[in-house]
Structure 1
Amino acid sequence: MLCPPFQWRNCLIKLFARLALLILVVFIVPSLAAAGWWMTQHHANNWRDANWSSSNVLPAKPTADDAAIYVLAARTGGLKGALSLHSWLVLKRPGTTHYDRYDVVGWGTPVRKNAYDADGRWYSNTPSIVHEIHGTEAATLISKIETAILKYPYAKPGNYVIWPGPNSNSFVAHILRSVPEIGVVLPANAVGRDFPTDGKLFAIDDDWRNVHATLFGYTGFAVGARSGFEINFMGLVAGFDILNPGLKVPGFGRIDL
């Protein structure tokens, strides 16, 4: 319904009130609920007390003839763990019996290789496998992933920004967008994944299966076969997926239906 003449001020007030209510219900209330839940859980007091050892999520000794790609993620430390994950990549090249782990940290040179066990806990939090690829498909993609890692534009000391990015999730999301054949997006609660590491505020994946729009990571949206429909507000993501039925809830991530 159009606004009546000379009522633009009242109409704007109503519009902003409804927008504020929408933000409250969709983004703030779930985030507060996630924070409340997180505070009831046991956590390491600091990084020195945290357990960083292998979680045994991955096979300890992979077979030499297998190639594999893993995307892993675990809740991060401190209060920010209520709302966000830390994600990383693990590559297993054919003909080898070890893994190579790549992730980004907030001190020194951001991009690290094998700084931790491939499936190591993050601040004592056990990781989960977001996505995995094996065999010939993995072998053909590993070189593309390595090229994307080398070309990551925020790899110099001082480039890391905890929010809205570029952070650890921005790095992994950059690789996933650079190599869309991997076929997955990071979980909705991987804060920083929507930061435009390529400098583009609007982008379409090379395979045309996902569209992204962002205002420097502060707000934006994504739609496509991989993302479903998502709205990003200040790093918090809400949305739904029809092809793989599920809801995306700030703080909690994806809830399968």
Structure 2
Amino acid sequence: MKLKLANAVRLLLLVVLTAPLGIHFVTEHVNAGWQTASREPVGLAPEPEQTPEAIIQVYGARAYGWRGYFGIHTWIAVKPSLARTYTVYEVIGWYLRRGGSAVSIHQQQPDRRWFGNMPILLAEKRGDGVDALIERIEEAALSYPYAREYTMWPGPNSNTFTAWIARAVPELALDLPPTAIGKDYLGNSMTAVAPSGGGWQWSLFGLLGVIVSEVEGFEINLLGLTFGFSHSPVAIKLPLIGRIDLSAQDRFAISAQQ
């Protein structure tokens, strides 16, 4: 037991020390211009013409450029029953430069790379009852209170928007990863349900806070950086790195849900 614990500590230290190098490989094309960075789909979304059932998918990908070392961008895609296209909901900060809303609602491929970076599927709902959830996602997106605001850190940003939707639709049981900086931003409020839609959260402008939830487990937010652990699966949560899965016997793995 002591040997296993010592090995776990050594592995954790190794991961922390080598995290910047690892993230460098995760953030593909960081030196390429955003105009030429890939936006190709990667095959995570079912073809709508061949999938009549309703679908909700939540995605995350490392942010573009140097910001990807610290966090991810998240978005939500929906396809009602029998629909032949997906609708993607997300917040994009540069839309405000055009004098409009930061909230983007467009019909497009949901699983495209985020300017070169590979998307990860964070949550999915399919089948019976999902059409009703899609209607609630639409309502929540249209009532997002920070549509005319965007601040990369500590929020409101794209992850604040995804957390807002998840609170409104707790059936998603969305556990946003610790790299989703901005998920804890509550504006002038200091308490709310956790981003998963259950449990409890206290936050001071997204800079200092605590989450206790069956979905998220226990998290501490310090200056936008998240530290914590969850029990299903057993994992620890760290800034920059993401979620480290401890549930697999005799091995430890960094979760793909960074």
* Partner AA of 2:117 in structure 1: N
Task: Tell me, in whole angstroms, the C-alpha distance in 2 between the residues paired with 1:57 and 1:93.
Answer: 17
Aligned residue among 79, 97, 106 for 2:93: 106
2:33 is the counterpart of 1:43:
no
2:146 is the counterpart of 1:154:
yes
Could you tell me which residue of structure 1 aligns to residue 132 of structure 2?
A: 140
Measured against aligned partners, the alpha-carbon deviations of 1:32-72 in whole angstroms (never above 9, x if no partner) come to 74334334564242211211121222123344530011010
Aligned residue among 80, 105, 108 for 1:93: 80
Could you tell me which residue of structure 1 aligns to residue 5 of structure 2?
A: none
Task: Tell me, in whole angstroms, the C-alpha distance in 2 between the residues paired with 1:40 and 1:145.
Answer: 34
Aligned-pair distance for 1:137? 2.9
Identity across the alignment (%): 36
Could you tell me which residue of structure 2 aligns to residue 57 of structure 1?
A: 44
Aligned-pair distance for 1:207? 9.9
2:226 is the counterpart of 1:237:
yes
Task: Tell me, in whole angstroms, the C-alpha distance in 2 between the residues paired with 1:239 and 1:251.
Answer: 13
Aligned residue among 235, 240, 248 for 1:246: 235
Aligned residue among 169, 178, 182 for 1:188: 178
Could you tell me which residue of structure 1 aligns to residue 68 of structure 2?
A: 81
Structure 1 residues 40 and 203, CA, compared in 2 at 3 Å: closer, same or farther? closer
Task: Tell me, in whole angstroms, the C-alpha distance in 2 between the residues paired with 1:54 and 1:250.
Answer: 27
CA RMSD after TM alignment = 2.3
8 A Cα contact 1:214 1:220, kept in partner: yes
Aligned residue among 71, 83, 94 for 2:58: 71
Q: Secondary structure at the match of 2:202?
A: strand
Measured against aligned partners, the alpha-carbon deviations of 1:98-130 in whole angstroms (never above 9, x if no partner) come to 110111111123111227531110020110110
Task: Tell me, in whole angstroms, the C-alpha distance in 2 between the residues paired with 1:174 and 1:31.
Answer: 30
* Partner AA of 1:186 in structure 2: L
Count of residues paired in the alignment: 226
Between 113-122 and 223-232, report the one with greater CA deviation: 113-122
Task: Tell me, in whole angstroms, the C-alpha distance in 2 between the residues paired with 1:236 and 1:225.
Answer: 20
- Ranges in structure 2 where 5+ consecutive residues have no aligned partner: 1-13, 96-100, 247-258
8 A Cα contact 1:30 1:249, kept in partner: no
Task: Tell me, in whole angstroms, the C-alpha distance in 1 between the residues paired with 2:196 and 2:91.
Answer: 26
Aligned residue among 68, 91, 114 for 1:122: 114
Structure 1 residues 110 and 234, CA, compared in 2 at 3 Å: closer, same or farther? same
Higher relative contact order (CA 8 A, sep 6+): 1
Structure 1 residues 204 and 40, CA, compared in 2 at 3 Å: closer, same or farther? closer
Q: Secondary structure at the match of 2:93?
A: coil
Task: Tell me, in whole angstroms, the C-alpha distance in 1 between the residues paired with 2:74 and 2:49.
Answer: 21
- Structure with max Cα Rg: 1
8 A Cα contact 1:176 1:185, kept in partner: no
* Partner AA of 1:38 in structure 2: I
Aligned residue among 173, 176, 193 for 2:163: 173
